[in-house]
Structure 1
């Protein structure tokens, strides 16, 4: 079904079921009609089951279960609440979701749902069981025409073929690893540049031969194996060298008297076997057995996925080399998160619409035009690595072309095309830039393998043999530093349709000297000078800047995978403001933060975003993806929110008239002024005079987890008193020596005051805000402390703050702002005074509203006090948060929202993203007011 058809079907379905729906009589009809008419399910009886028994202490029935997509449905009658508890047969009170969860717990693990959907015919509440404790997504029946795509998970089945390809490809990578290690041992010195390059080329050639014999490219199955089997270990090296020479020689140029076993091999071309000046070591019995048994006789290489295998193959490189280069490898699923919204969804929809045409002559013309369009597109991956983005894109485009060929063929055996070959799409349309020479070779080989596999699929459609060898196509993948070379030297920009990829992930604090220089040479203004913030942005930002430059005056669209840090905190303005102000980019779609794993041996658990952007006008609705499902919005800003294009800049003072937030105290003492919990009692026993100078010390960990730690706070100590405390004096002397030995001049200066911390912030009372807090908490734990506690520099403090200010800062409004604009440490919140607090838009409450807010703040503290033995970590864990505290926070949230004018039913009340959008409008207004002064 096309998008237009699905929208129409969803509209008709919603109209048909408006204001109707009885749990017992209508449930099955409702779901059958939804799945068949809106989502195109054909064999409905095999797709969804109803009333499956589940045995608790009594027999119950699951309203609906879709095994293929792991969805459980709990249906209620129209107007029944989906959040209120309902009395069960056993007397317990459960919400519909809790009822479904209880059913789930009684199912075998393999059948437990990924998704639980509760419905009352007018609303769908969708719970993702990968996110326990998370709020449900809510879709209203009346909005189904616009939001049907958010229910796509009902029918999206896991691709079993892809799973098989993945398993085979990873197994193939393990074989390559064994071969690589065995061959490396045979080099005189495998660490030399020539030896390492030769080893990489040798592995690539062997893999191509293994694949070619299993895929039938060489002619008959097992040719490579049978040829090698003729030679014992001592002669195998020479046999391999001779084979490589033959594969690189045209039949007419070969020795007419060569052995038949060599002469039967075809000419490969393409340069894969061209360089004969490589170092090939002597083989061993281990290598011979690996090649003939494990790698050949026992394994079928024709089943590998070239996309996955390219990444796995590259994992045979030294892991340290891979890590320092910032390279990570993307799964096929994640590649499609980039290429589907960038171009593939649009092309698929275009083909679907052509397939709906009933006039055959018109349809055939449209199909041929569409095929020509596919053959004219060009893709550039400026950080191509092992080519997995290019390879998967080639496969996807060729599959579209094969659909076209199948439509034009109409099942006929006679080939119905005028051209000599039905295939127009070529790997010549794919361009890449990659700094690693081995990766360049792997990428080209992966594309050739993909070309072979797709040609085989075409042969099955047209019922004729197509010649794969000799290779006549070649992907244009250039070896070089993408941030140093001119991309137009690889491909003229007017030829490029799309740019894509996953550039290296290297944080600004982890960049080596060359990488820092790369960024400073790329992120420059019109006068060629580096932007002030260029030294504090991630390495990946260089690709965004060069892509924005490259796209000028074109219709190119770009999408990159990136670490989420470029869309958070201080980096947002540094990375994105030049792209908006200077190049006029706009974000077309974005995947918000997700954990991104690879198929390589060393999996890279990275918190990523995907950003698709362009410069040319784009009238299509913008999309924000969360957990694979998207929402259409009017704008996507650099924080990946549906909000205005504002940049929250580093600000030293608050925009609003509120107290200054400052950092806690940095000891800078080498640990000598700190008394750990286990040492405290012994220290006091031996040095009782020190007790008046000891205060509780809290960093973020101590504050949140209620851990005891102490420090010597010697601000007011007199020299005579200090000399009476030898243990204290000993610690002061050690602190002095630590500071004197520091390579930092500022710290050496502190040796003049060895009794003191670097900062001396000890107000009578203050609000403490941890700098880092878990993303699993809805609220960042904050609290009031007094002068008896010293905060370290791992916290922020607000001296002499009020209950009103505490209430605002601990509200869901401030938490929403913080989540949107703060930086992250991995995925944890990294609070910032200069970004989060100083830019936060404060409300202007009435006196009555302010009084109410102060009361709800006190209620939060009172609720905490009910649990004196529980830490803030215990109290703010979403699983263990006490009901009294949750209610107190809810009441505080309501009071604060009223102060902002976010009334019940408003978008800002219902949605955190909408709330942040309103806050950004307030921020924008305030900044404009200040600029006018």
Structure 2
């Protein structure tokens, strides 16, 4: 007997002799002994806490989780004999709001059973259930309780089963199409056999019927007759009183209206038999469709490698938009009449997903509404048992016909219909209601193949009327719209939606249309007029925000949002999520809003049930309750009213660095020296060159040179034959290929043609930048894509790459202002986004940023001195620290005394004083007010102080030092 087994047997015996199962009195001692049985001195010694406060998401109150051990598990105890499935919602909500460093697993326990949940992969059912008596031999599901990092082993992991099932059917479909079966027929056949597989394992068909029929199929002709006959039987309204299909009920639903008869070859029959052997009751319909669809026609990409939108991510929309308003309404009812009225409202409540895909969002919304229906019915029965008998509930308030969807992919639409048909039966089984699952609802009019935005004639598409709208519109940035959608479609959509700016991302059209289509949320009907959509990062900035969320917040209110997170449905996609109410009436709005935001986190690599290592997440989500969420999905001061200031743009002071266009323009030092050895005059064309990651990574001098012919024409370039030959060999072929490449975007084609016409020149030399820094000994720069601008000086003899944002200042005062929290926080409120990272914008950030207007000479000097101390601390630290400025600044996120933090705090204090701001107030709000003041003064012709050293300093040389992060010496 192993030591683990022995200790767990002792625990089981101890429970039997000492525990009665009192939730309040015995939970903590039970859990402490449980931790000891798993090898700890006790739960406190392991780092777990009891009775941890957790904010309630709907009432704003506080609950207490029985045990929290971050980042491993949250445990909720219930009294002995409690039906644990009734407490699933509580466990899920505790898990949801235990951020940051959220526990990976959740456990419900009634002293005799452990229900283990892995909500990241499976929401509806536990990944394992273990009886206390079996714990010594089945502890694998609770391996995460042991010291160290021991992967749990689950026996009820639905994701793996679903992937394998989807893979089998997709391979069968691909084989059918590959040998010439018409695609529509193959699709119809696969959907009909899919439903048959599910039906056999969830009790809609006789057990083993489909398996027996497949065993009878020995030839292609057999499958045509036998499986085709099954589909006909499932469509026979009068039923099947005898014969091979005796007892097969009428399925209807439109799915079997045209039974698919196909002659299957041996390979295809074999794949179906393998698929039939799966337990389809464990296959998750809400992810099956996506996994299956992603595998079609792609032999190299099976379902095992496909991504799907996790139910947890879907709940970030369905929860705030549907579940929480309904739960609040249910819990607010007191009389039977109120409850009956709410039941009637539930019957008429409608949900629309205008980009429904395979139906994932609709499935989750239906499932949650059915659970709410059960909650309402149980409340009626509990409060008024003489009038309502919970055992006599025969008809549901919610049906699948309450749900509507649209999608441009016709097969995805058919999958979505099947998904929703299955949702009905699965809810009946979960909630133990006596509704009839057959015949299936016909959803042909509910979920339709349609472009949700525009018709072929250029008018807006019709949307069904709906109380709430949810969904996940296409992630398509504005730069990809023309190549992927075509010029004609872009022109059509822009004519139909002239109010959406031309530089807005594709999903913005859905946001705009959704808000316009919503009914108004009123105190008389607070359940309608709500929406939740996933969007690209850019929906919270620039023209995408103007076209979408700015419009929403004119007459609506964002109540919950995720400002930035990687999306589960696609690799390398970062998204924002907005949930809003079409109202600004406090009577229908929550007292506080919830804002989720991404935080960095170093996580161990969790393992799946089968032991394969999953990708380690490099982020965590945290949440704060706020009183306001702006259209930039922030609780900070909304700076959308800030205007560009002429004093900041004339003259131009900030630039993007040089864009070579081809890596062959950039030479390593030895290659540059070799060119000069062949052609001495080529030294006139070569300049030291640096990019942001090199400086932030620790480089103090350039390691490369850029070959720049300037604005010389081809004849003038011939004066440097060796250098020109180098570009001719390495760059010209690539530019010729780009110009010849067939592209639908006329603008992109013209772009490449123009580059070919001057193939020896850099793509964007930024002559105005080079002129601006030519007279300076050094210039300021930071990375353009950055979560926090880190400013540094670069010798003006070094040309900056286009990953750098360049500021044409050489003084320490400008460094101080731009490196201070005033500018950093202004940047965070005005930046645009590239994937997950903020990006500096010359127009939106610098162009609107007001500088101190009336600083005294002493205040300027204080900023200069604080700047020099900051530079000195960085320079000293970098002499011994490895990793450069990036690693140095990462230390600011760590606790403990830090000289870098101290000098930054001193700089912030000096700059805030120079502005005349109140250090206790929001600096962005004060800067926004100053922006308006400066703009008004410019408009009326009054003097203002623009960027750079103010006139109060008569000798500029006194504020210019020699510090340089990148220089030639």
C-alpha change, 1:67 and 1:767, in structure 2 (3 Å) is farther
Instruction: Give secondary structure in 2 for the equivalent of 1:185.
Output: helix
1:225 paired to 2:215? no
Asked if the contact 1:433/1:479 (under 8 Å) is kept, the reply is: yes
Distance 2:632 2:666 in 1: 40
Distance 2:580 2:536 in 1: 16
Equivalences for 1:331-730 in 2 at 5 Å? 331-354=310-333, 362=335, 364-409=336-381, 416=389, 421-458=394-431, 460=432, 465-472=434-441, 474=443, 476-485=446-455, 489-491=462-464, 493=465, 496-511=466-481, 512=483, 514=485, 518=489, 520-522=491-493, 530-531=498-499, 534-551=501-518, 556-577=529-550, 584-598=555-569, 603-619=570-586, 620=589, 621=591, 623-627=593-597, 630-643=623-636, 646-647=639-640, 651=644, 653=646, 655=648, 660-667=653-660, 670=662, 673-687=665-679, 691=683, 694-705=686-697, 706=699, 708-712=703-707, 727-728=722-723, 730=725
Distance 1:384 1:266 in 2: 29
- For structure 1, which runs of at least 5 residues remain unmatched after alignment? 1-39, 72-103, 114-124, 132-154, 909-914
Deviations 1:309-359 (A, max 9, x none): 333333333469999xxx9842111111112111311211232344xx5xx
Quote how far apart the aligned CAs of 1:180 are: 2.4
Q: Which residue of 2 aligns with 1:205?
A: 192
C-alpha change, 1:420 and 1:803, in structure 2 (3 Å) is closer
1:295 to 260, 266, 275: 275
- For structure 2, which runs of at least 5 residues remain unmatched after alignment? 1-22, 55-67, 76-96, 104-116, 129-155, 522-527, 598-620, 740-751, 942-969
Deviations 1:253-303 (A, max 9, x none): x7x8xx622132111111111123x5624231x4434433x3334x22123
Instruction: Give secondary structure in 2 for the equivalent of 1:372.
Output: helix
Q: Which residue of 1 aligns with 2:967?
A: none
C-alpha change, 1:403 and 1:722, in structure 2 (3 Å) is closer
Work out the number of aligned pairs and report it: 775
Quote how far apart the aligned CAs of 1:597 are: 0.9
Deviations 1:12-38 (A, max 9, x none): xxxxxxxxxxxxxxxxxxxxxxxxxxx
1:239 to 226, 229, 233: 226
Instruction: Give secondary structure in 2 for the equivalent of 1:824.
Output: strand
Asked if the contact 2:454/2:460 (under 8 Å) is kept, the reply is: no
Q: Which residue of 2 aligns with 1:894?
A: 909
C-alpha change, 1:673 and 1:897, in structure 2 (3 Å) is same
2:813 to 796, 804, 814: 804
Asked if the contact 1:817/1:916 (under 8 Å) is kept, the reply is: yes
Instruction: Give secondary structure in 1 for the equivalent of 2:474.
Output: coil
Deviations 1:872-926 (A, max 9, x none): 334334489994434322322232233445555x253xxxxxx444444443554
Q: Which residue of 1 aligns with 2:798?
A: 789
1:283 paired to 2:272? no
Distance 1:288 1:224 in 2: 12
Farther-moved stretch of structure 1 (718-727 vs 605-614): 718-727
Distance 2:342 2:709 in 1: 79
Deviations 1:524-580 (A, max 9, x none): 6xxx6735x733111111101211322366752221011112213453334444555
Q: Which residue of 1 aligns with 2:604?
A: none
C-alpha change, 1:176 and 1:784, in structure 2 (3 Å) is closer
Quote how far apart the aligned CAs of 1:703 are: 3.3
C-alpha change, 1:44 and 1:245, in structure 2 (3 Å) is same
Quote how far apart the aligned CAs of 1:855 are: 0.9
Asked if the contact 1:186/1:281 (under 8 Å) is kept, the reply is: no
Quote how far apart the aligned CAs of 1:698 are: 1.6
Q: Which residue of 1 aligns with 2:889?
A: 876
Instruction: Give secondary structure in 2 for the equivalent of 1:509.
Output: helix
Deviations 1:70-97 (A, max 9, x none): 99xxxxxxxxxxxxxxxxxxxxxxxxxx
Deviations 1:81-134 (A, max 9, x none): xxxxxxxxxxxxxxxxxxxxxxx9xx9996799xxxxxxxxxxx9983479xxx
C-alpha change, 1:839 and 1:469, in structure 2 (3 Å) is same
C-alpha change, 1:772 and 1:454, in structure 2 (3 Å) is same
Distance 2:236 2:635 in 1: 59
Distance 1:782 1:321 in 2: 46
Q: Which residue of 1 aligns with 2:63?
A: none
Distance 2:921 2:27 in 1: 37
Instruction: Give secondary structure in 1 for the equivalent of 2:534.
Output: strand
Quote how far apart the aligned CAs of 1:378 are: 0.9
Q: Which residue of 2 aligns with 1:769?
A: 781
Asked if the contact 2:347/2:397 (under 8 Å) is kept, the reply is: yes
Q: Which residue of 1 aligns with 2:253?
A: 270
Distance 1:756 1:568 in 2: 26
Distance 1:699 1:813 in 2: 26
Distance 1:604 1:746 in 2: 34
Q: Which residue of 2 aligns with 1:885?
A: 900
C-alpha change, 1:842 and 1:50, in structure 2 (3 Å) is farther
TM-score of the aligned structures, taking structure 1 as reference length: 0.72
C-alpha change, 1:126 and 1:691, in structure 2 (3 Å) is farther
Asked if the contact 1:170/1:309 (under 8 Å) is kept, the reply is: no
Quote how far apart the aligned CAs of 1:397 are: 0.9
Farther-moved stretch of structure 1 (763-772 vs 859-868): 763-772
Equivalences for 1:816-835 in 2 at 5 Å? 816-835=825-844
Asked if the contact 1:205/1:273 (under 8 Å) is kept, the reply is: yes
1:923 to 913, 920, 931: 931
Distance 1:403 1:59 in 2: 38
Asked if the contact 1:656/1:842 (under 8 Å) is kept, the reply is: no
Asked if the contact 1:195/1:279 (under 8 Å) is kept, the reply is: no
Q: Which residue of 2 aligns with 1:167?
A: 157
Q: Which residue of 2 aligns with 1:18?
A: none
Asked if the contact 2:645/2:935 (under 8 Å) is kept, the reply is: no
Asked if the contact 1:522/1:546 (under 8 Å) is kept, the reply is: no
Instruction: Give secondary structure in 2 for the equivalent of 1:499.
Output: strand
Deviations 1:808-851 (A, max 9, x none): 11123322222232122211232111111111233344433322
Equivalences for 1:2-13 in 2 at 5 Å? none
Farther-moved stretch of structure 1 (673-682 vs 730-739): 730-739
C-alpha change, 1:274 and 1:488, in structure 2 (3 Å) is same
